[in-house]
Amino acid sequence: MTGNLRIISTNEADEAVLDSSDFLAALPVGNLQLQGRARVARTSNAAGLKLIEGEWPNPRVLTACVLQGHNLTSSATWRLQCWSGVGQTGDLTYDSGTQRALRRIGWGLFGFGLVPWGSTVFTDWERAFSVLWFAAIAARSWRITLADAGNPAGYLQAKRLLMGSYFEPAVNAEYGLELTWREDTTQQRTQASTLRSDAGPQYRRLAGNLSHLDAIERARFMELCRKVGMRREIFVSVFPGTGSTQERDYALLGKFTVMPDGAHGNPASWQNNFTIEES
């Protein structure tokens, strides 16, 4: 399901009651609801099917699901099912079916002897994500089923789970979109003038402009900004659903580092800029 820039700003998964017997007590499934990189959720092993179940006290409208910062391999599959009632009962309102969690590198990028067979666009990346985009549904409860029995780590692991409705303007971000890799590495020259580096973590910075918002989109985007501020994480994907390196590069979980500025560009449209850094 491809489209324009999409932002998941309200993470309904953070409000759900999660349940799973497949995760370690020290790294429980509830860690999927915590912001930041420090804590992860990890299963006790990689064998069989691993379930994550959740429910809300009242129905929530969903159009997306993201499992972020996971260690799933190119052989892994996942499935999302949603129900109208609590405890995975009632009408089945959505079923993604069993799908590959990651798309493998296509012939245009694959090079024999250069990358392992079955590599994905996330091979050698510190953090991978899997995402489902779908038409709006209402759900009280849900289940995610993961399978990756051959995972070389011997366990399945993820950092964040996001579920919610995405904002998508009719016109994509303006040309001139900026994407930069940054890192907290410090450098200093020795007395012999060798440049030494004290390695720090890497992160991405995405900056651009939505220049053709109509009145309804302007109102939705400004309300989105008010609610999340610079405090809460959002998931943004500029080229959703393509399964390409472009989608990988221009999709991240992050925060606004400055509040977006809005302007009335012309009588028919508004514009808002944004700067988001990976969290």
| SS3 state of residue 261 | coil
Q: Are 239 and 117 in a shared domain?
A: no
DSSP 8-class letter at 122:
T
In angstroms, the CA 21 to CA 183 distance is 37
Contact 130, 74 (CB under 8 A): no
- What are the phi and psi torsion angles at 32 (to 5°)? -65, -15
Q: What is the pLDDT along the chain (279 residues), one digit of tens a residue?
A: 788 999 999 999 999 999 999 999 999 999 999 998 889 999 999 999 999 999 999 999 999 999 999 999 989 999 999 999 999 999 999 999 999 999 776 544 444 444 454 567 777 777 899 999 999 999 999 999 999 999 999 999 999 999 999 999 999 999 999 999 999 999 999 999 999 999 988 999 999 999 999 999 999 999 999 999 999 999 999 999 988 889 999 999 999 999 999 998 788 899 999 999 999
Q: Are 66 and 161 in a shared domain?
A: yes
Q: Are 120 and 61 in a shared domain?
A: yes
**Domain count for the chain:** 2
Per-residue tokens: 105: 């590198």
In angstroms, the CA 202 to CA 191 distance is 28
Q: Are 206 and 109 in a shared domain?
A: no
Q: Are 132 and 224 in a shared domain?
A: no
In angstroms, the CA 28 to CA 11 distance is 19
Residue ending a domain, choose from 122, 146, 167: 167
In angstroms, the CA 136 to CA 167 distance is 12
Q: Are 147 and 195 in a shared domain?
A: no
In a domain, 3, yes or no: no
In angstroms, the CA 55 to CA 58 distance is 9
Q: Quote the pLDDT of residue 110.
A: 44
Q: Are 88 and 56 in a shared domain?
A: yes
Question: Tell me, what CATH number does 27's domain have?
Answer: 2.60.120.260
Q: Quote the pLDDT of residue 107.
A: 46
Q: Are 163 and 224 in a shared domain?
A: no
Q: Are 28 and 159 in a shared domain?
A: yes
Q: Are 140 and 192 in a shared domain?
A: no
Q: Quote the pLDDT of residue 116.
A: 53
Contact 168, 3 (CB under 8 A): yes
Q: How many residues does the chain have?
A: 279
Q: Are 187 and 121 in a shared domain?
A: no
Domain that holds residue 249: 178-278
Q: Are 143 and 195 in a shared domain?
A: no
